[in-house]
Amino acid sequence: MKRILLSTAFVLFGTLLVQAQAVLSGKVTDEKGAPLVGATVYEKGVEQVTVTDLDGHYSIRLSNVPTHIIVSYVGYNTTDIAVEEPSSDFNIQLTEGVVINDVVVVGSRFQPRTSVTSPVPIDNIHADELIQTGKMAVDKMLTYKIPSYNSTQQTISDATAHFDPADLRGLGPSRTLVLINGKRKNASSLVYINDTPGKGEVGVDMKSIPAAAIERVEVLRDGASAQYGSDAIAGVINIILKDDVDFSTLDLHYGQTTVGDGQNYGYDFNTGFKVGEKGYINLTTSYGQQKETNRAPSPGTDSLFGNIFAGISGLEDLGNSLLDGSNQWLKDHPDMGMHVGTPNMNTAEVFVNGKIDIDDNTRFYAFGGLTHRDGLSYALYRTPYWKSTDYGLLHDPGTKYDGFQPTFETDIVDQSLVVGFSGKKMGWDYDLSLTNGRNSVDYTIGNTINFSLAELSPTQFYAGGYEFGNTITNFDLGRGFGMFQVGLGTEFRKENFVANAGEEASYAGEGSQSFPGLSPQNAVNAVRYNFGMYATLDACGCHR
């Protein structure tokens, strides 16, 4: 009996000893032999899980032999592998899978990564999500999809009503770096000088990018300035253009407000085709019209001019009547002739995105677009007690003069082009590019006069405009050394700002009502040059 018990104990001890030694270890790599850091390894049917270290190594204690282990990694095909016996050199190779929405460009010098492996949070918004907002312009789409991004319609604010300042994280428009396919988008030519968001700053004209040309939008908020510089204090918005060649899309849209105004209609067309065996060109054309809305309230009083006239001899009664609403003109026009809402706007756009693989390690790419937008908005109504006459220039003969409302019209052109080469040489990833961008806006002031010219005044004025252009040359190098990534680069940038004077009648004397034209004294043609270099050394637990 003792022998039987002893034999049984020996067998059980031996079994436990074998199981205790059933350890499986090895290395997880991709198809090129590079280690996959943070890959998940676990035994099938067992809750115990381990992950690979910075060198791709793993070690897991098995509960049974033989058994199966499951290995998975973001962006790679999950693999089920049979294990016949413990081993200390059980290496595993994963094959790349299909990842559509997770791959991002921002936050990495050269190698695309995923939102999961990025050291900081990155919003990755696909085009379908933008379209679901029901908005037509990119800035409004992003407002409804990206936290802390805001773009609101401005009104009675001159050209600002046609650009709509946009900001990220409550910081000014100039604090957000906007990229297209990873390359800097030129700023607009308009300086926001009115009492609107972004006053005193300049931002990118987000309305100049057609939504139909966008594949996805990446937004990096945290730690952006550490990599992209002071331009990215608020964050980085990287717009990735479509590269489809398999199908074409045509979208027709129409809509209006429940009030019956604000009609918005147009079309978007996107198509692509191959160039040779390894190239493509994706083309987008878009046209849209936006009609005005008017949501002016009806206070029935005029505190602005009432306060101005109060205390002035001979005008106190007028001021009091404006404040209490007893003025006859205010009774007939309780909204004070105000026009508060979206402007009239016509937009035509063409965008192109293309690439040609010259050989296995070199590719040529080019992308850019042209946007033309003209709009019409309104200024404050010139009431008859404010401006007592129009010298018979704006109202029909034989009718009573009842004041007038000037219009503010813009002609906006935004164009950009990027060409470059990228690839891999001598183990280094490289990118050499030339970027050229330009934005201009011209002003026409209509349905108004210059009181200094009296009866000789025109009723429409060219008030001048602004231009801004930049030319940027970039050369970047990057290479991975295990867990380290080295980045080197240089940039040369030329910027040109131009202020064009308006016609003489627009600035002579007190100038055209609502917006005096730019005078020759305010005209400018300034150029500045910027040159910079950088070097970075990154250590991370992400796959390179």
Given a cut of 60, whether residue 200 has pLDDT beyond it is yes
Given a cut of 70, whether residue 105 has pLDDT beyond it is no
> Which of 484 and 507 is assigned the larger pLDDT?
507
> Which of 202 and 483 is assigned the larger pLDDT?
202
Contacts of 303 (CB under 8 A, 6+ apart): 322, 323
Give the model's pLDDT for residue 108: 53
Mean pLDDT of 234-242: 93
pLDDT tens-digit map of 447-492: 999 999 999 999 999 999 999 999 999 999 999 887 788 999 999 9
pLDDT tens-digit map of 70-96: 998 877 888 999 998 888 889 999 988
Mean pLDDT of 194-199: 86
**Three-state secondary structure call for residue 506:** helix
Give the model's pLDDT for residue 121: 66
Q: Do 111 and 96 touch, CB atoms closer than 8 A?
A: no
Of the pLDDT bands very low, low, confident and very high (cuts 50, 70, 90), residue 3 is: very low
Contacts of 467 (CB under 8 A, 6+ apart): 189, 438, 439, 440, 496, 497, 498, 500
Q: Do 284 and 349 touch, CB atoms closer than 8 A?
A: yes
Q: Do 101 and 82 touch, CB atoms closer than 8 A?
A: no
Given a cut of 70, whether residue 99 has pLDDT beyond it is no
pLDDT tens-digit map of 293-339: 999 999 899 988 888 888 888 898 999 999 999 999 999 999 999 99
What's the rounded Cα separation, in Å, for the pair 386 and 282? 55
What structural domains does the chain harbor? Answer: 2-93 (2.60.40.1120), 103-296+337-539 (no CATH)
pLDDT tens-digit map of 120-132: 667 888 888 888 8
Give the model's pLDDT for residue 20: 47
What's the rounded Cα separation, in Å, for the pair 34 and 21? 29
Given a cut of 70, whether residue 146 has pLDDT beyond it is yes
Closest CA to 420 of 398, 438, 439, 435: 435
Preceding omega of 297 cis (within 30 degrees of 0)? no
Q: Do 462 and 513 touch, CB atoms closer than 8 A?
A: no
What's the rounded Cα separation, in Å, for the pair 540 and 485? 8
Give the model's pLDDT for residue 21: 55
> Which of 108 and 358 is assigned the larger pLDDT?
358
Percentage of the chain modeled with pLDDT above 70:
90
Contacts of 49 (CB under 8 A, 6+ apart): 40, 41, 42
Give the model's pLDDT for residue 184: 94
Q: What is the H or E stretch that residue 526 is in? A: strand 524-539
Q: Give 369's Cβ-side CA count (13 Å radius).
A: 30
206, exposed or middle or buried, with CB in 10 Å at 0-12, 13-18, 19+? Answer: buried
Of the pLDDT bands very low, low, confident and very high (cuts 50, 70, 90), residue 380 is: very high
Given a cut of 90, whether residue 383 has pLDDT beyond it is yes
Mean pLDDT of 203-222: 91
Given a cut of 60, whether residue 115 has pLDDT beyond it is no
Given a cut of 90, whether residue 119 has pLDDT beyond it is no
What's the rounded Cα separation, in Å, for the pair 173 and 165? 6
Given a cut of 70, whether residue 499 has pLDDT beyond it is yes
Give the model's pLDDT for residue 22: 83
Highest mean pLDDT pick, 88-92, 162-166, 329-333, 367-371: 367-371
Of the pLDDT bands very low, low, confident and very high (cuts 50, 70, 90), residue 103 is: low
Mean pLDDT, the chain, whole residue set? 88
Highest mean pLDDT pick, 63-77, 119-133, 275-289: 275-289
Give the model's pLDDT for residue 107: 55
With vertex at residue 347, the alpha carbon angle to CA 507 and CA 352, rounded to the nearest 5 degrees, is: 120
Least confident of 51-65, 304-318, 528-542: 528-542
